[in-house]
Amino acid sequence: MSTYMVTLLADDLGPRIPAKIFGHLLEFIGRCVYDGVWVGEDSAVPNDDGLRLDTIEAFRQLQVPAVRLGGGFGEYYHWREGIGPRNQRRTTRNLFWGGYESNHFGTDEFLRWCAAIGAEPILQVNVATGSRQEALDWMEYCNASAPSELAAERSRNGHSEPYGVKYWQIGNENLILHTPEEYGREVRRFGTYMRQAEPDAKLIVRGTWNIATDFNQRLMEYLGDQLYLIDLLSLHCYTYPPPLSSPGESDTYQVVAGAELLERQVLRAAAAIHLYTAGKKQVGIIVDEYGTHHHEVAFGFPIRELPNRMEQPSFLRDAILVARVLHVFMRHADLVWMANLSTSINVLHTALKTAGPHLIRTPTYYVLDMLKEHANANSIRVISDAGTFKFGKGNEAHSLADPDLYSSGSPADADPDNGSQNALPNLDVVASATPDRRQIVVSIVNPRLDRAAETRLRLPGNAGYKPISATTLGGADPLHQNDFEQPHRISPQPIEISAGRDEWTLTCAPFSLTVLKLARAGS
């Protein structure tokens, strides 16, 4: 066991941690929506007019702040196919992910589901196969009042009051089709009229995650004299674990080191934003797709098949990656304003899995539940003597080429460090304090597989804080998961704390997330 000292400087406040970094993505792919969210009114699974109740309750517990409906399918989606009486909706091809789309889960169902879980919706307009008029009509359908005919149509479909959708994304991964300037032209074509239609809308523009390209800089330069068209720049940041055929210690470390690459991606994008917006307008970053894509479900373009219907295990190591990614977002809360785990239910990196009437919470779900305590608090400065450790033989890739590479740059142009990382912190620590300073939350990731970490938390001056809870998730095989035979195999457990005058000691298990809550007397 190693022993480390972590000092919390509670008076050194940083930016507020946005609650919306704890968001999620829904996409019409595999069983994400159908079975995961929608079961239909006649299903034996308990539901509210087709929406399954157990996933609603699970997301309510997480206090999910925002959900994005979009992804690759969104660039082939025509919203009018999904409104009106469900028995009259046309079945269409799911051109992007294969199979057919019943359109039973459409605009009204999605917005009703968001209201049920207490989340703000993010809608993605179709740039690739849609039109500006289609996007404007969708905004009007969602947000207009009488005497608009689209508002009347919405009322006939069961919702008389405007939905008030604020967040609108202009396309998805358009970098596959466009150069930065070509996509910038689409942003101008769509965004100009969307801004005119909804002056207070938050417009999301798609950037690139690839630190080896100048896409973001060229895009921002193109939009430079029309910054009213962008409120958030979107990044997609995925980690691609090595194959599971012969897993080893280094493979797990490569996965959780994905957070280091993501941090560099965020900082690179923020630099491009700052170059063209400084002193003019604040533009934030939304990482609206992140998570692991297991090698066994990797796919290429054009898509011919979807291995395993894009369903993959949800391991403990995937959850620890999410903890580290959220720590990155918290440390850069002034830059990252929103984020969405991809894709939340059943498909890819999931928080929940369903099978018939049964539901399980994955280790990732519990990480999100534990870390939500940081939401809307201010980060506080942390000093740690833990240092770092190296793993592997160097240059093991933990992230592969993104589709962004198809339009700007290539692997040959990559930063020599892009995709390789062989050092990790012995402890990854984030702390926050509520605005009234009554509560402090400390989250600690111990990424070491081989040893526990005795952690001494020091709070100079103390100011009357006492520990009120300490929980941990982990301490197991990184490839363990919760399944329908053992749904609670990995779940948060309380741990003991030794208290001193202005110091507390706790033991962080190997490969774990530990969250400690401190409160002032009388809080």
Query: Mean pLDDT per segment of 10 residues, for the chain of length 523 residues?
Result: 94 95 97 97 97 98 98 94 97 91 98 98 97 98 97 98 98 86 97 98 93 91 95 95 85 95 94 95 97 87 82 96 98 98 95 97 98 97 95 52 31 37 92 94 97 96 89 94 96 94 92 96 69
d(CA 345, CA 105): 15
Q: What is the pLDDT of residue 313?
A: 94
Sign of CA dihedral 94, 99, 103, 109: negative
Residue 475 CB coordination number (10 Å):
18
Quick one: how far is CA 131 from the chain centroid?
28
DSSP states of 68-95: EE-SGGGGG--GGGG-S-GGGPPPEE-T
d(CA 319, CA 324): 9
Q: What is the DSSP letter of 119?
A: -
Query: 287-313: per-residue pLDDT in tens?
Result: 999 999 998 887 777 777 788 889 999
Q: What is the pLDDT of residue 242?
A: 86
* Secondary-structure breakdown of the chain: helix, strand, coil percentages, each rounded to the nearest 5: 30, 30, 40
Q: What is the pLDDT of residue 402?
A: 38
In degrees, rounded to 5, the angle at the alpha carbon of residue 466 between the alpha carbons of residues 465 and 470 is 125
Q: What is the pLDDT of residue 305?
A: 78
In DSSP terms, 374 is beta-bridged to none
Nearest CA-CA partner of 186 in 205, 202, 200, 201: 205
311, 346 Cβ separation under 8 angstroms: yes
Quick one: how far is CA 222 from the chain centroid?
28
The per-residue b/e assignment along 411-450, b for 16 or more CB within 10 angstroms, e otherwise, is eeebeeebbbbbebbbbbbbbbbbeebebbbbbbbbbbee
Q: What is the pLDDT of residue 398?
A: 39
Nearest CA-CA partner of 238 in 309, 318, 329: 318
Nearest CA-CA partner of 19 in 351, 472, 333: 333
Q: State both tokens at 94.
A: 């799911």
Q: What is the pLDDT of residue 174?
A: 78
d(CA 54, CA 106): 20
Nearest CA-CA partner of 253 in 453, 481, 422: 422
Region of 409 (left: φ > 0; alpha: ψ -120 to 50; beta: rest) is left
